Each structure stands twice: as structure tokens, then as C-alpha cells.
Amino acid sequence: EDKVVQSPLSLVVHEGDTVTLNCSYEVTNFRSLLWYKQEKKAPTFLFMLTSSGIEKKSGRLSSILDKKELFSILNITATQTGDSAVYLCAVITMGNTPLVFGKGTRLSVIA
Amino acid sequence: DTEVTQTPKHLVMGMTNKKSLKCEQHMGHRAMYWYKQKAKKPPELMFVYSYEKLSINESVPSRFSPECPNSSLLNLHLHALQPEDSALYLCASSQGRQSSGNTIYFGEGSWLTVV
């Protein structure tokens, strides 16, 4: 059975801290890995990673994929209270289920 | 801003009511999805339409009935729901078939409460 595991499940940091969120996966026929940010509404797309070792960056957020060790990390530097959200990792496979989600990491950034 | 639009944003319905959730996208995407999300859980897949044909039905009860009138629209018809069906219902779309590795974009969701 395809599986995506995120850690930690929750995290509380102070503004200005740097955080690293982890996502490991065990799936058959991996295609891509996606990171989403979810506040009170729908998940908002952050990154799609398909190749190992290529860092994707967007402002203070960055992410990288390791297809040999089957994991990805999402880094957030100089965190702000607006970064407080659930961060979802999902894997696209060639199987029937289009997206296999992890349970998410709930990040709380306190002033 | 998301280009997947869902209506209504909030819906309260009784267990004997019939209502519909609507979803629209104008990105030319050919795959559309319904997900259900309960509090503090990740989204769970319900249905996938690929090129306007139902390609996946994840053993969803028949009180949920999807419909894809054309490539831009996706409906979810609701009838005789139970209180445990209360959740956030998310519509999503992607460029092509789900296995092609395309990014899946979500709408803002419809919050459904069944009383």
C-alpha cells in the first residue's frame, strides 16, 4: 500500500526561526511529490518536485527531493506568523490514486 | 488566487434535502476531482473524472452522485446525507490524467454541515 509519512506532526516555533519539515514516502511508480500549505481553506500549491537534488525556491521557502532515500524536505527561513498552517506533502503515482497525502505538519509560529 | 471556483462556500442541509455542490475551472484542465476533508485530516479522494468520464470512484456511498456536464464543470449531487458527512468538500483539477505527474490545483472548498 502506498504511504506518505510526514514529521513532525506539529511544531511550534518563534518568529525568525528556521524550520525543516520532513516527508518520506513508500509508493510504487513514483511520479512527483507536491507540497501544499493549508490554512483555513483549501490546500494552496507550493512546489512540485520530480527530480532528485534540484532545489525549488520561492521566497523564504525551499524544498528538495531525494529519490534514492525516498524523502523530501521543506525549509522555511525567518518564519513569520503568517506561515502558521498545516503543510501537506502528497505524492503522485502512476497507480489509481492520483495523490497520496501525508497527514500533514501543523506549524504554529508565535510572535 | 485559485482558478478553481466552488459554490456554495457554505451549505447547511437537512438529512432529507437534495442539494448540489458546483465546481468550475477555465484552465483547460481535463481531469477533475472531488475530495472530502474532515477536521485535522488530509483530503480523501472521492471521485476522479478524466476527459469527462468517471475514472475513479473510491467506494463512495450512493448518496453522493458526481456529474461532469462538460470539461469545465463538475457537480456533486447530495441526497439523504448523514451528519457524519459534514466536512469540507474540495474540488480540484489538473492538466491531464492523474498518472501523468501533473500538479493538482484545489478550489477553496465548500463547507457542508448536515443537520
Q: Measured between alpha carbons, how far is A31 from B26 in angstroms, rounded to an integer?
A: 25
pLDDT tens digits, one per residue of B47-101: 999 889 998 888 899 999 999 999 899 999 999 999 999 999 999 999 876 556 6
CB B2 to CB A34 under 8 A?
no
Mean pLDDT in residue range B12-18: 92
Please check the confidence at residue B2 and state whether its pLDDT lies above 80.
no
> CB-based contact (8 Å) between B20 and chain A?
no
Given B99, B101, B108, which is nearest A42 (Cβ)?
Answer: B108
Cell 514516502 locates to A25
* pLDDT of amino acid A22: 98
CA atoms within 13 A on the CB side of B89: 31
> CB-based contact (8 Å) between B60 and chain A?
no
**Given the DSSP bridges, would you call strands A10-14 and A30-38 parallel, antiparallel or unpaired?**
unpaired
> CB-based contact (8 Å) between B110 and chain A?
no
* pLDDT of amino acid A95: 67
CB B45 to CB A32 under 8 A?
no
Q: Measured between alpha carbons, how far is B93 from B91 in angstroms, rounded to an integer?
A: 7
> CB-based contact (8 Å) between A99 and chain B?
yes
Q: How many angstroms separate the CA of residue B108 from the nearest CA in chain A?
A: 5
pLDDT per residue of chain A (111 residues) written in tens, 0 to 9: 889 999 999 999 999 999 999 999 998 888 899 999 999 888 999 999 999 999 999 999 999 999 999 999 999 999 999 999 999 999 988 766 678 899 999 999 999
Q: Measured between alpha carbons, how far is B45 from B114 in angstroms, rounded to an integer?
A: 20
Looking at beta carbons, which residues of chain B come within 8 Å of A46? none
